[in-house]
Amino acid sequence: MNMQDEKLKKLSEIDAPAPLEGARKQALDLAMAAFDEAAAEKSRAATQGSASGQRLTSIMDWMKGLFAMENRYALTAAVTGLLLLPLGYLLYQNTALTPIGMGPQPPVSINTPSEDARGSSQSETGTLTSELADDESLAIGGERDQMVMAEEAPMPEPTPSVAPAPQAKSNEAFAAPQVAQQQAVGTLAMSGAPQDGAGMIAPSPMPGYQVVPEGAGDQFTEFDDSGVKVVAAEPVSTFSIDVDKASYAYVRRALNDGYLPQADAVRVEELINYFSYDYPLPADPNVPFATDMQIVPSPWDAGKQLLRIGVQGFEIPAAERPAANLVFLIDTSGSMNDQDKLPLLIKSFSMMLDALGPDDKVSIVAYAGSAGTVLEPTPANEKRKILSALRGLSAGGSTAGAEGIELAYQLAEEAHVDDGVNQVILATDGDFNVGLSDPSALEDFIAEKRDEGTFLSVLGFGNGNLNDGIMQALAQNGNGAAYYIDTLREARTVLVDNIATTLVPIAKDVKIQVEFNPAEIAEYRLIGYETRALNREDFNNDKVDAGDVGAGASVTAIYELTPVGSQSVLVDPLRYGDGPAELTDQEKSSGELAFFKLRYKLPDEDNSHLITMPVTQDIAVPSLADADANTRFAVAVASFGQKLRHNVFVDQMSWDDIRDLAAGARGGDPDGYRAEFLSLVDLAKGLSAQ
């Protein structure tokens, strides 16, 4: 009998005193936390090799550390926790948490489309975890998102609270999660754990336990914030529109999980465009855009102004939505094994079936170590058949993304719908580690299929190895959009509530160009759109690809303007040079601040159309308080995004200022998205102060 066995034998002979009030609950929490962490470790081992032996050893070391404490309460909790470890191990060995390749796999259980979106029905697996699952407690994030995400019982987070690391460009170096209200915090407090700045206990990690920031390993394209442009030197600003919303959902996921997103995950224009605005609707589908503008004093600098440009797309009634030929291209690689990846993905596509009609077709292709057809083109009203195919998916293997994409396009071509929507929807965590060695070759392939009439959109899931750069590139080349699905609520928003926006394009290659009048405006700065910048000559070149807009979508852009004569002008005039071009008397007296241009192509056309309008002082209001709710809320979100990116131009704007501005422009907010934004500002404020 070794020393540890002797200790356990002596421990079993102890006549333990009656537990103090709350000790049993704490012991259960400790045991469940150990079980939860062991399950997470085992899940990671599916693709990285088993570390179960090391995990059990580290748990034992941690428990021995608790025994060393002289406090009777802690000893009682530790004894009870140790006695419960066999139960935890038994649960670990016999529940649906066992990953692919590590034991028998129960089928993934999902709700059928006829069930309520909140998942009120029982899971079909019959496992202990599914029996314990409470749909109202399994939301992944968001104040209002209380829908079921997966068949896993809610358990206390095992990750200790740590102080956030400094922000950095590196994909691995950013703030670690702040886990509030740890169930085991009382015991750890008695051992002398230090207090953090907010008075919360900040326990040290268990021996052998490494704290890894959530989101570490996610990859984002690095970019710098747009700088100030001198109108005399660069009077024209040109960019492609952006209706993607992935950045906002990722930022929400990070903040709800307790850490600040890395700066490059924050694309300010995607945060602004996540929200709908009350812009006037166009009446003619052949002229599918209406424009709305307003100029207000800047809250960031009293000597500057903000120009808010709103572009509203034509709405197509649900009854007039064209038939859709959809191919679900699903990543089933080992990295998709987490509950917020493949299980959430399956539920998301299952909900989408309710928004499809009998004229729509669905195909399914899965890819991992190799690609394969899971479902041939099938009418969308054959829901049982489609759901059965989705239920049969499981995660395992490496990622042959390129092969899967080729097969998906092949199925799309076989079921091609004339005068309809032909689209591949790629669902992945973005980890394309096997396939074409040259990413540009894959992008060229997708662009070629785009020109033949089949578009590509991308849905991103999970964190830890999210490759946002690849997702963005593929969606842009495929004339589609990129979304990040962090919750079932977001899945419903993208795939059900806004299905026409997601699937039905009203215009492609949409570009905006603004020329500023040097007699009125000295400097300007475009907020966001850094990754969508175009050359001036690209605006009139119909061969240059640009953004695409779905039915009913709106696009908002904000410029910061510095009027001529303002004390806030940052760039001194040239000592040598010609200076601004000579203006005619009509131009000097026109009152025009700028000239706006929008160029677009209709979905089935190759030649672009042009919309123009002057920007004059008539749209200016004397104060931000006098601005409409569209402007005030958009400015609040723009401030929020820039502050997350540590942009010096908004240093004068506090988190409280941002929240107050947004709260005053919340309006009716029937879906609660703006209320949710207020909670994110509060979270960002708290995490930034630590």
Helix %, strand %, coil % of the chain (to 5): 35, 20, 45
CA 296 from chain centre, in angstroms, equals 30
- Distance separating alpha carbons of residues 203 and 180, to the nearest angstrom: 11
Report the candidate in 688, 241, 256 with the shortest Cα–Cα distance to residue 490: 256
Beta bridge partners of 311: 291, 555
- Distance separating alpha carbons of residues 109 and 113, to the nearest angstrom: 13
Give the sign of the dihedral formed by CA 295, CA 297, CA 300, CA 304.
positive
Q: φ, ψ for residue 244 (rounded to 5)?
A: -65, 150
- Structure token pair of residue 39: 């399950």
Query: Do residues 263 and 344 both lie within one domain?
Result: no
Torsion angle defined by CA atoms of residues 574, 577, 580 and 583, in that order, rounded to the nearest 10 degrees: 150
Q: Which of 503, 526, 541 is the last residue of a domain?
A: 503
Give the position of tokens 């929240």.
659
- Distance separating alpha carbons of residues 414 and 628, to the nearest angstrom: 49
Give the sign of the dihedral formed by CA 655, CA 659, CA 665, CA 666.
positive
Asked if residue 577 is part of any domain, the answer here is no
Query: Do residues 379 and 334 both lie within one domain?
Result: yes
Q: Cβ distance 367 to 400 under 8 Å? A: yes
Query: Do residues 73 and 184 both lie within one domain?
Result: yes
Query: Do residues 388 and 493 both lie within one domain?
Result: yes
Query: Do residues 499 and 536 both lie within one domain?
Result: no
- Cβ-in-10-Å burial (0-12, 13-18, 19+) of 114 comes to exposed
Asked if residue 559 is part of any domain, the answer here is yes
Query: Do residues 354 and 392 both lie within one domain?
Result: yes
Task: Give the pLDDT confidence score for residue 37 in this predicted structure.
Answer: 53
Helix (H, G, I), strand (E, B) or coil at 255: helix
Q: Which of 443, 476, 503 is the last residue of a domain?
A: 503
Report the candidate in 333, 675, 355 with the shortest Cα–Cα distance to residue 503: 355
Q: Cβ distance 211 to 525 under 8 Å? A: no
Task: Give the pLDDT confidence score for residue 7 in this predicted structure.
Answer: 62
Residue 98 Ramachandran class (φ > 0 left, ψ -120 to 50 alpha, else beta): beta
For 255-284, how does the pLDDT look when each residue is reduced to its tens digit (9 = 90+)? 999 999 999 999 999 999 999 999 999 999
> Average pLDDT of each block of 10 consecutive residues along the chain (690 residues)?
64 57 52 49 40 37 41 46 48 38 38 38 34 35 39 38 36 36 32 34 33 68 96 96 95 96 97 96 95 98 97 93 96 89 96 94 87 93 96 80 85 95 92 58 88 94 89 91 96 94 94 97 98 97 95 97 95 74 61 95 95 96 97 98 97 97 95 96 94
Residue 311 identity: V
Give the sign of the dihedral formed by CA 381, CA 384, CA 390, CA 393.
negative
Q: Across the chain, which distance is largest between two alpha carbons, in Å?
A: 101
Query: Do residues 270 and 384 both lie within one domain?
Result: no
Report the candidate in 154, 251, 163, 260 with the shortest Cα–Cα distance to residue 211: 163
Task: Give the pLDDT confidence score for residue 318 in this predicted structure.
Answer: 85
Q: φ, ψ for residue 460 (rounded to 5)?
A: -100, 145
Which long-range contacts link 116-125 to residues 24+ away (Cβ below 8 Å)? 117/147, 117/351, 117/488, 117/492, 118/146, 118/147, 118/148, 119/147, 119/148, 119/347, 119/488, 123/151, 125/96, 125/151
Helices 439-451/468-477 angle, 10° precision: 30
User: Order of strands, edge to edge, in the sheet holding 361-367?
Assistant: 371-379, 361-367, 324-331, 421-428, 455-461, 482-485
Beta bridge partners of 526: 559
Asked if residue 210 is part of any domain, the answer here is no
Name the DSSP letter for residue 623.
S
Domain extent at residue 456: 319-503
Query: Do residues 491 and 637 both lie within one domain?
Result: no
Model-wide pTM > 0.85 = no
- Distance separating alpha carbons of residues 81 and 95, to the nearest angstrom: 20
Asked if residue 56 is part of any domain, the answer here is yes
Asked if residue 2 is part of any domain, the answer here is no
- Distance separating alpha carbons of residues 51 and 392, to the nearest angstrom: 28
Name the DSSP letter for residue 467.
B
Helices 655-664/673-688 angle, 10° precision: 170
CA geometry: angle 634, 636, 642, nearest 5 deg: 100
- Which DSSP helix (H) or strand (E) runs through 473? helix 468-477
Q: φ, ψ for residue 335 (rounded to 5)?
A: -70, -10
- Distance separating alpha carbons of residues 663 and 106, to the nearest angstrom: 46
Query: Do residues 141 and 285 both lie within one domain?
Result: no
Task: Give the pLDDT confidence score for residue 440 in this predicted structure.
Answer: 78
Report the candidate in 487, 604, 498 with the shortest Cα–Cα distance to residue 554: 498
Q: How many domains does the chain have?
A: 3
Asked if residue 76 is part of any domain, the answer here is yes
Calculate the alpha carbon distances from 267 to 59, 102, 244, 270, 528 in Å.
Answer: 41, 39, 10, 6, 6
Helices 246-257/673-688 angle, 10° precision: 50
Neighbours of 171 (CB within 10 A): 17
Query: Do residues 381 and 302 both lie within one domain?
Result: no
Task: Give the pLDDT confidence score for residue 322 in this predicted structure.
Answer: 94
| Domain containing residue 346: CATH number | 3.40.50.410
Q: Cβ distance 527 to 251 under 8 Å? A: no
Beta pairing, strands 609-616 & 592-601: antiparallel
Give the position of tokens 């419960």.
84
Helix (H, G, I), strand (E, B) or coil at 311: strand
Query: Do residues 335 and 471 both lie within one domain?
Result: yes
| Domain containing residue 304: CATH number | 2.60.40.1230
Task: Give the pLDDT confidence score for residue 581 in this predicted structure.
Answer: 57
Query: Do residues 470 and 525 both lie within one domain?
Result: no
- Structure token pair of residue 470: 């690849």
- Distance separating alpha carbons of residues 572 and 576, to the nearest angstrom: 12
Asked if residue 171 is part of any domain, the answer here is no
Residue 3 identity: M
Asked if residue 220 is part of any domain, the answer here is no
Q: Which of 485, 503, 521 is the last residue of a domain?
A: 503
- Distance separating alpha carbons of residues 114 and 354, to the nearest angstrom: 8
